[in-house]
Amino acid sequence: MSSTRNRIAGYAFASPWLVGLVLLYLFPFAASLYWSFCRYDLINPPQWIGGENYSRLAEEIASGTGFGQALGNTAYYAAVSVPLSIALGISLAVLLSLPVRGQAIFRTLFFLPSVIPVVAASILWMWLLDPTDGIVNYGLSSLGLGQPKWLESPGNVFAAFWQTGSLAPGSKDALVLMSLWGVGNFMVIYLAALGDVPKSLYEAAQLDGAGPLRRFVHITLPMLTPIIFFNLVMGLIQSVQAFTQIYIVSEGRGSPAGSTMMISLQLFLSAFQHLDMGYASAIAWLLFVLLLAATLLLFRTSRRWVYYGG
């Protein structure tokens, strides 16, 4: 009798979480899957149309329009921003781990940007990257590097270099630059990981004649690979889910010329501006499948390059 009473009491204490799980996660999860096979405008009842929404997505991917363009923009943003954030985070962590005066102050200064609200940071970056009055272009022009259009140009630095041989960053490069503003989160994690690297490894390598670069390549990086792997997976998910800063700098339209139309923004506009919830649900599920496949691929390849000291 007491065991039954304890079981009931346990379910009662867990009931707020269970109710929230069902209403806020499981039900929307199942509803979006059903809506992805329907024509649904949030006003009239859903109408079953089978796989038409997914056929539309396949056609747009093949033609490079609509979802295809958003997929390409998102892939570029993730492929550039995630490796740069990892490289910058490791570099800052190594530099800030050196025993210098005011170490805590420097660490605080580099971490502070990551706690600034996204809206405020986005507006600040719009001012910094202004082609005529922005501080960034003022500094570049002082060095004789020209004045990029940044958020007013639909191109990107790689396409410009391939076509003209010049480094002319565009709107997607501006978004990548903005994403590096919050690299302090990664830096803190790498700093903690650096503190766990056994000092005996560095001492043994130094006795064998290894210089700072060899110690970094053969000791520091291998010991950081579990953290790099974690930040790689989390950075990939965060880059695909990025929305607020993209919505602000593109004025909610993905401008200029659709170059900042990411999957997250297209999903939002399809659902709540065009009232095409069925199509938006199909985008969400396709995005889920793509992220799942990418994450599984990372886990599969991690066996070859991630080193666990134990």
User: Using 50, 70 and 90 to split pLDDT, how confident is the model at 310?
Assistant: low
Mention the CATH class of domain 54-305.
Answer: mainly alpha
Cis peptide leading into residue 131 (ω within 30°) = no
Tell me, what's the pLDDT at 40? Answer: 93
User: Using 50, 70 and 90 to split pLDDT, how confident is the model at 287?
Assistant: very high
Instruction: Give the 3-state secondary structure of the chain.
Output: CHHHHHHHHHHHHHHHHHHHHHHHHHHHHHHHHHHCCEECCCCCCCEECCCHHHHHHHHHHHHCCCHHHHHHHHHHHHHHHHHHHHHHHHHHHHHHCCCCCCHHHHHHHHHHHHHCCHHHHHHHHHHHCCCCCCHHHHHHHHCCCCCCCHHHCCCCHHHHHHHHCCCCCCHHHHHHHHHHHHCHHHHHHHHHHHHCCCHHHHHHHHHCCCCHHHHHHHHHHHHHHHHHHHHHHHHHHHHHHCCHHHHHHCCCCCCCCCCCCCHHHHHHHHHHCCCCHHHHHHHHHHHHHHHHHHHHHHHHHHHHHCCCCC
Backbone angles phi, psi at 48, to 5 degrees: -70, 125
- pLDDT at residue 162 above 80? no
Tell me, what's the pLDDT at 31? Answer: 93
pLDDT digits (tens, 9 = 90+) for 24-55: 889 999 999 999 999 999 889 999 999 999 99
Q: Virtual CA dihedral for 229, 230, 236, 238, nearest 10 degrees?
A: -160
Tell me, what's the pLDDT at 168? Answer: 77
- pLDDT at residue 247 above 90? yes
Percent of the chain topping pLDDT 90:
48
Mean pLDDT of the chain: 89
Residue 112 CA: distances (Å) to CA of 42, 128, 147, 198 = 41, 18, 28, 29
Which amino acid, 213?
Answer: L
pLDDT digits (tens, 9 = 90+) for 180-217: 988 888 899 999 999 888 888 888 988 888 888 899 98
How far the first Cα of the chain sits from its last, in Å, is: 46
**CA gap 29, 12 in Å, rounded:** 24
> If you average pLDDT over residues 261-277, what whole number do you get?
93
Tell me, what's the pLDDT at 203? Answer: 87
Encoding tokens for residue 104?
């805590």
- pLDDT at residue 308 above 70? yes
Domain ranges of the chain: 54-305
For the entire predicted model, the pTM comes to 0.89
> If you average pLDDT over residues 89-103, what whole number do you get?
89
> If you average pLDDT over residues 149-164, what whole number do you get?
79
**CA gap 308, 145 in Å, rounded:** 44
